[in-house]
């Protein structure tokens, strides 16, 4: 799929993965809605990219907010690419703590709402807009790329909410691809390992020192642009559909 002249939405578009992906999609000729609640970073990135990008504060837990982002994208051109890469945090607590207290269900539900339900909300609404596009070669109308995590396959201690949410995103991929096939819309998922992004909220050297020795090859954390280059390739390669690609240097989480 040729991205030139089309529009795209990147939820979490001002973050580590999101900003790198926004730049790569703009490089490919798309105009991008940076859908992110981080206003300062979003406006800064939009200013850097000029007429090729606009920032719009977007809450993936709100129907109205997502609808607004999609409407903004369709004003820039036919919406053909949606990359769902927003963050939101997780509690990182065991299901039952040492005092015998259960992990609050409402916190678990909030994490699932952001990462899984938010993904479904953006995916379904973006696909509805894409279904109205004029078809390209092979009846293609667009692609939705979600973001899981290797924690969705093998979660670590304290990741019950995050692993469940990301596992749901993984499980959604093939079903969504089959649901949307008649409309000519592809669905793919990227499952990153450990990447050097602001999500760690720690000194980069400290984070690298911990994670790099655990990655089989190459022995380092990933760079956000490696995610972004994969996202762009997925958008442009029409035969990638209905599967999850791990990008993790062969890292497997072990307890």
Segment 102-120 shows an average pLDDT of: 95
**Predicted confidence band of residue 41 (pLDDT cuts 50, 70, 90):** very high
In a domain, 114, yes or no: yes
* pLDDT for residue 206: 85
| The pLDDT of residue 90 is above 80 | no
The mean pLDDT value for 108-136 works out to 97
Catalytic residue numbers read: 162
Confidence (pTM) = 0.95
Q: Give the pLDDT score at 197.
A: 84
Domain assignment present for residue 38? The answer is yes
pLDDT computed for residue 201 by the predictor? 61
Task: Report the alpha-carbon distance of residue 11 to residue 82 in Å, rounded.
Answer: 8
Tens digit of each residue's pLDDT (9 = 90 or more) over 192-242: 999 998 776 667 788 888 889 999 999 999 999 999 999 999 999 999 999
Dump pLDDT digits (tens) for 54-70.
Answer: 999 999 999 999 999 99
Task: Determine, yes or no, domain membership for 253.
Answer: no
User: Within a domain: residue 175?
Assistant: yes
Domain CATH for 128: 3.40.50.720
Q: pLDDT tier at 255 (50, 70, 90 boundaries)?
A: low
List the single range of 1-10, 91-100, 131-140, 163-172 with lowest mean pLDDT: 91-100
Asked if residue 252 belongs to a domain, the reply is no
Mean pLDDT of the chain: 95
Q: Which of 42, 32, 20, 38 is nearest to 73 (CA)?
A: 32
What's the full length of the chain, in residues? 255
Q: Does 152 fall in a domain?
A: yes
Residue range(s) defining the domain that contains residue 113: 7-247
Per-residue pLDDT at 3: 98
Look at residue 215 and tell me if it is in a domain: yes
How high is the pLDDT of residue 88?
A: 86
Q: Is 255 within the bounds of a domain?
A: no
Residue 116 has pLDDT above 70, yes or no: yes
Q: Quick one: pLDDT at residue 202?
A: 67
Domain count, the chain: 1
Going by pLDDT thresholds of 50, 70 and 90, the confidence category of residue 162 is very high
């Amino acid at each position: 799929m040729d991205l030139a002249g089309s529009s795209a939405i990147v939820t979490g578009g001002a973050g580590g993965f999101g900003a790198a992906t926004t730049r790569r999609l703009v490089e490919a000729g798309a105009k991008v809605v940076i859908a992110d609640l981080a206003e300062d970073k979003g406006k800064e990135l939009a200013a850097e990219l000029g007429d090729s990008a606009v920032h719009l504060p977007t809450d993936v837990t709100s129907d109205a907010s997502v609808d607004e982002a999609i409407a903004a994208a369709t004003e820039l051109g036919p919406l053909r690419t949606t990359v769902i890469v927003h963050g939101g945090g997780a509690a990182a607590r065991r299901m039952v703590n040492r005092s015998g207290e259960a992990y609050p269900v409402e916190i678990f539900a909030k994490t699932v709402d952001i990462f899984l339900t938010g993904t479904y909300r953006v995916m379904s609404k973006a696909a509805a807009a894409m279904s109205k596009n004029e078809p390209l070669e092979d009846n293609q109308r667009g692609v939705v790329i979600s973001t899981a995590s290797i924690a969705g396959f093998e979660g670590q201690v304290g990741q019950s909410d995050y692993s469940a949410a990301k596992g749901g995103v993984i499980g959604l991929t093939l079903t969504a691809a089959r649901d949307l096939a008649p409309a000519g819309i592809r669905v793919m998922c990227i499952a990153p390992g450990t990447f050097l992004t602001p999500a760690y909220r720690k000194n980069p050297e400290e984070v690298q020192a911990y994670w790099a020795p655990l990655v089989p090859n190459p022995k380092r954390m990933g760079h956000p642009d490696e995610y972004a280059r994969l996202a762009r390739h997925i958008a442009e390669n029409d035969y990638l559909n209905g599967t999850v690609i791990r990008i993790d240097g062969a890292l497997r989480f072990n307890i």
